[in-house]
A and B are shown apart, each in its own frame.
Chain A
Amino acid sequence: AQSVTQLGSHVSVSEGALVLLRCNYSSSVPPYLFWYVQYPNQGLQLLLKYTSAATLVKGINGFEAEFKKSETSFHLTKPSAHMSDAAEYFCAVIALYNFNKFYFGSGTKLNVKP
């Protein structure tokens, strides 16, 4: 079975500070991992994905995530937060044998303070 756990339902950072959003996964088979972002009143937008190639994945808007098998983690980072990064972020996993559905985390709301 597959699942993801996002630590921290709310994270608050100052503008210009490091953003770190945590995601740990559980999967009985090699996983594909994703980060989605949801801005207010909008759909889920793909930020980045890990599909068994490079373990450090770069996404849009300066975000990146590193797949660490030993820690079963896929944390999302950005060196310097911008006000426009305020949104809700979802980590998700797909099992290699079943591309048909995502298992999402419960989401982390990122607040960026001026």
Chain B
Amino acid sequence: EPEVTQTPSHQVTQMGQEVILRCVPISNHLYFYWYRQILGQKVEFLVSFYNNEISEKSEIFDDQFSVERPDGSNFTLKIRSTKLEDSAMYFCASSLDREGFREQYFGPGTRLTVT
């Protein structure tokens, strides 16, 4: 069964450093998403991406964040200068079409720890 994969599973970084979280969505999917979950809190939407551009972003997704689909398979989330409060689990998801209610497939997550 096709699945979304994410690397690394755990990333530790120092405050102020740049991190790139990587995702490989399901190959025929067209819509891509990032969510995050701060420990003990809700899973929050960050951004959705389609046709090589951001289609929607939340207020969390400020100028420190960027997304990219550098090739035909990877979808990345970059945090330019990490803060302590960026520590969270980051989930990537993909869906076949815009009607994501059909199903968004989620990856296992990357746990980011900023020290």
Q: Which of B4, B40, B42, B101 contacts A104 (CB 8 A)?
A: B42
Residues of A contacting B99 with CB < 8 Å? Answer: 99
Q: Which of A45, A94, A106 contacts B101 (CB 8 A)?
A: A94
Query: Interface residues of B toward A: which range?
Result: 20 to 34
Q: Which of A36-44, A67-75, A76-84 contacts B (4 or more CB under 8 A)?
A: A36-44
Q: Which of B48, B101, B107 contacts A43 (CB 8 A)?
A: B107
Residues of A contacting B45 with CB < 8 Å? Answer: 101-103
Q: Is the CB of A41 within 8 A of B101?
A: no
- Chain A proximity of B34: nearest CB distance (Å): 10
Question: Chain B, 45-63, contact with A by CB distance < 8 Å: what is the 0/1 string?
Answer: 1001000000110100000
Q: Is the CB of A99 within 8 A of B98?
A: yes
Q: Is the CB of A105 within 8 A of B100?
A: no
Q: Is the CB of B44 within 8 A of A104?
A: yes
Residues of A contacting B75 with CB < 8 Å? Answer: none
Chain A residue, CB-CB nearest to B101:
A32
- Roughly how many angstroms separate A44 CA and B4 CA in the complex, as a whole number? 10
Residues of A contacting B107 with CB < 8 Å? Answer: 43
Interface on A for B, CB 8 Å cutoff?
9, 32, 34, 36, 41-46, 49, 51, 90, 92, 94, 98-107
Residues of A contacting B48 with CB < 8 Å? Answer: 100-101
Q: Which of A34, A42, A49 contacts B108 (CB 8 A)?
A: A42
Q: Is the CB of B43 within 8 A of A46?
A: no
Q: What are 14 A-B contacts defined by CB distance under 8 Å? A: A42-B108, A43-B6, A43-B106, A43-B109, A46-B103, A90-B43, A98-B56, A99-B99, A100-B48, A101-B56, A101-B58, A104-B42, A104-B44, A106-B41
Chain B residue, CB-CB nearest to A44:
B106
- Chain B proximity of A76: nearest CB distance (Å): 16
- Roughly how many angstroms separate A62 CA and B33 CA in the complex, as a whole number? 29
Q: Is the CB of B106 within 8 A of A99?
A: no
- Roughly how many angstroms separate A51 CA and B101 CA in the complex, as a whole number? 8
Q: Is the CB of B104 within 8 A of A102?
A: yes
- Given contacts A36-B106, A41-B108, whether A99 and B101 have CB atoms under 8 Å apart is yes
